[in-house]
Every structure is written in C-alpha cells, then in structure tokens.
Amino acid sequence: MNGSLEPDWNAITQADVDAAELGDLIPTGTYEGLVQSYTKRIVEREESPFFGLPMARLTVDLFDVPINDSPQTRKYFVDVTSAQVRQKDGRIAEPSRLGAQLARHTNTVGKPFGETLETALVTRLQFRVRLSPARDRYEARNWTDAITAV
C-alpha cells in the first residue's frame, strides 16, 4: 500500500466500482434455500401497483452460492403477495407470481396466505435468481424468476 498523500494514490478503477456494485449480489443460478423469517406490511407507495395491498418480505438463506470459488450460505430477500396484480402489459406482477408459486410448492393453494408463509418456514425450496447488470440509470440488482419445489 502506498502511504503517500499524493493526489493519485487513491485512484479507483472501473474494476473497483464494478466489484463494489456486485459485492452483495447473488450470481445468476438456481439455489436451494429455506425461508428463515418474513415481515408483513401494507404497501404505502402510491405509485406502486400494490398500493394498499398486503406484501410479505421473505428472508431466505440460499445454500451453496458460489462466492470466490467457495460455496457459501447467503441471505436473500424476496417480496411475495397473495394479491393478484397485473402489470400494464397484462403480465402478472412479480410478487403476485412468486406468491402463487410459493403457495403451489408449499401445498397450501386455497388456504390463507399466512399458512403459506408459515409452511415456507419449514419447506426447503429452490429459488431461481437472475443477476441484472447495471445499465443506463439502473443499478445492478437481483431478480427472483421462480420459486419451485426441491
């Protein structure tokens, strides 16, 4: 490490920036996981299509996530709901789709969604995660493409 206080000693490279942005993100893949907890809330953002509707944020432990060539358990967060909301293009919105998948793969279809959430706490599931790189004004982030049975 350079101990100098010269103006160029702390130049940050694009590789440094890229690594920092991707550091907490999960690489694209399908991972087994277990819901550790969930929090419920009513969506308060007026511009959200879910405004006024219930939403649950799942805290999931994903297993065997490859980080620096070593499999690790990583925390991951997923929003799900029983409210069936469609996007402007007619597709079912992601939290609605994931909520339906969660009910299907915990065998709780037709039961109160609270039972779906409680059953998820004791059901090992698979989470298909996609890493979307930064572009234009959007930061890099993860998307959950599917929740399925193991």
Predicted confidence (pLDDT) at residue 17 exceeds the cutoff of 90:
no
CB 95 within 8 A of CB 79: yes
pLDDT digits (tens, 9 = 90+) for 83-135: 999 999 999 999 999 999 999 999 999 999 999 999 999 999 999 999 998 88
Q: Considering the domain boundaries, does residue 10 fall inside one?
A: no
Q: Considering the domain boundaries, does residue 122 fall inside one?
A: yes
Enclosing domain of residue 75: 26-149
Helix axes 113-120, 94-105, angle to 10 degrees: 70
Q: Considering the domain boundaries, does residue 8 fall inside one?
A: no
Residue 27 and residue 37: Cα distance in Å, rounded? Answer: 22
Q: Considering the domain boundaries, does residue 124 fall inside one?
A: yes
CATH number of the domain to which 35 belongs:
2.40.50
pLDDT digits (tens, 9 = 90+) for 31-74: 999 999 999 999 999 999 999 999 999 999 999 999 888 999 99
Residue 115 and residue 34: Cα distance in Å, rounded? Answer: 16
Assigned token pair, 31: 């991972």
| Site of tokens 């805290």 | 59
Handedness of CA 105, 97, 128, 38 (dihedral sign): negative
Residue 146 pairs with which residues in a beta bridge? Answer: 128
Residue 89, pLDDT score = 94
Residue 136, pLDDT score = 86
Nearby residues of 70 by Cβ (< 8 Å), 6 or more positions away: none
Number of compact structural domains in the chain: 1
Phi, psi of 99 (to 5 degrees): -65, -40
